[in-house]
């Protein structure tokens, strides 16, 4: 019975190792301003292109317009007009667009305000739709939607700490302690303080890495290198680097160069050798 359990355990380990090797596939190589998604390259938000793979290109939307990533901004039939049918953050729609003929006209909100989400250009809006704040700003005065007195929200910078921002687009008046998160590309070293009205303190991620928005105190391990095969960031690894000093990690998601994928073939071979040896020994 013990012999059978040992053999079964080792076989499971070998199967897991094989599965890990199959999962560690390098990401597709993407064009500039594109990122890999589920094995394909997609133009980044605010860009459009007919081919986002390496050798293709993604072009920024014009005139303060914006595109959502996916099949609407990347593909053989996509055009600048069909893709860029929304207004970027910090702008509101003043002239309606049409996916077949024209992009919307987008007008600046001013006062560092913005709609909470990019506005689709299928309907005209008023300046009072700028009822939130841009990332890195907190609200000092709410928007006014009263007819004849429409006004955007008023917002001030979270300037106590580079990278600090409210954890959600602000909808109410606050103070510096409203800046209780760190923007993507930063990690938090000190939390916001309500009693002293202090913003969170944030540190920038190392070159060639990125983080999601952070709402908790952490360290550099919150940042992930663009290159999936780079050494993981942590207290003993402060920069993105390859295991081999002769290689250079990706400088953007889906970059053209990067670290070599680990070889799992040797691991699998060694695992099987150990299994056979143990079987013979038992």
Mean pLDDT along residues 201-208: 96
The answer on pLDDT for 33 being more than 90 is yes
- Residue 234 pLDDT: 96
**How does pLDDT run across 153-170, given as a tens digit for each residue?**
999 999 766 899 999 999
- Residue 162 pLDDT: 85
Reported as a pLDDT band with limits 50, 70 and 90, residue 206 is very high
Higher local confidence (pLDDT), 143 or 15: 143
Higher local confidence (pLDDT), 17 or 118: 118
Q: Where are the beta strands (DSSP E) in 197-261?
A: 201-204, 209-210, 224-225
**How does pLDDT run across 55-90, given as a tens digit for each residue?**
999 999 998 999 999 989 999 999 999 999 999 999
- Residue 15 pLDDT: 52
What is the rounded distance in angstroms from the CA atom of residue 70 to the CA atom of residue 48? 10
The answer on pLDDT for 5 being more than 80 is no
Q: Can you tell me which residue has the tokens 């960031």?
A: 233
The answer on pLDDT for 196 being more than 90 is yes
**How does pLDDT run across 250-267, given as a tens digit for each residue?**
998 877 778 988 765 544
Q: Can you tell me which residue has the tokens 């609407």?
A: 72
Mean pLDDT along residues 224-240: 95
Q: Where are the beta strands (DSSP E) in the chain?
A: 34-37, 40-43, 47-51, 57-60, 65-66, 86-87, 91-95, 105-108, 113-114, 132-133, 137-141, 154-157, 164-165, 181-182, 186-190, 201-204, 209-210, 224-225
- Residue 38 pLDDT: 83
Mean pLDDT of the chain: 87
Q: What is the pTM of this model?
A: 0.78
């Amino acid at each position: 019975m013990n012999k059978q359990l040992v053999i079964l355990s080792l076989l499971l380990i070998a199967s897991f190792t094989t599965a890990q090797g199959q999962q560690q596939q390098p990401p597709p190589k993407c064009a500039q301003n594109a990122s890999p998604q589920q094995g394909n390259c997609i133009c980044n938000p605010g860009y459009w292109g007919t081919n986002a793979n390496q050798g293709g290109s993604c072009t920024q939307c014009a005139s303060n317009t914006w595109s959502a990533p996916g099949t609407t901004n990347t593909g053989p039939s996509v055009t600048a007009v069909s893709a860029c049918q929304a207004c970027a953050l910090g702008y509101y729609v003043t002239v309606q667009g049409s996916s077949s003929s024209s992009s919307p006209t987008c007008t600046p909100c001013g006062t560092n305000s913005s709609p909470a989400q990019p506005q689709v250009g299928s309907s005209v809006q008023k300046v009072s739709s700028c009822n939130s704040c841009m990332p890195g700003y907190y609200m000092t005065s709410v928007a006014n939607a009263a007819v004849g007195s429409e006004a955007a929200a008023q917002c001030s910078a979270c300037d106590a700490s580079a990278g600090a921002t409210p954890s959600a687009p602000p909808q109410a008046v606050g103070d510096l302690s409203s800046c209780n998160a760190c923007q993507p590309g930063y990690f938090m070293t000190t939390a916001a303080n309500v009693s002293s009205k202090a913003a969170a303190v944030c540190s920038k991620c190392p070159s060639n890495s990125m983080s999601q928005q952070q709402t908790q105190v952490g360290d550099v391990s919150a940042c992930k290198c663009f290159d999936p095969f780079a050494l993981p960031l942590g207290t003993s690894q402060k920069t993105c680097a390859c295991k081999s000093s002769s290689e250079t990690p990706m400088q953007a998601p889906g970059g053209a160069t990067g670290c070599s994928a680990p070889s799992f073939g040797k691991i699998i071979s060694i695992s099987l050798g150990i299994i056979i040896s143990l079987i013979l020994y038992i």
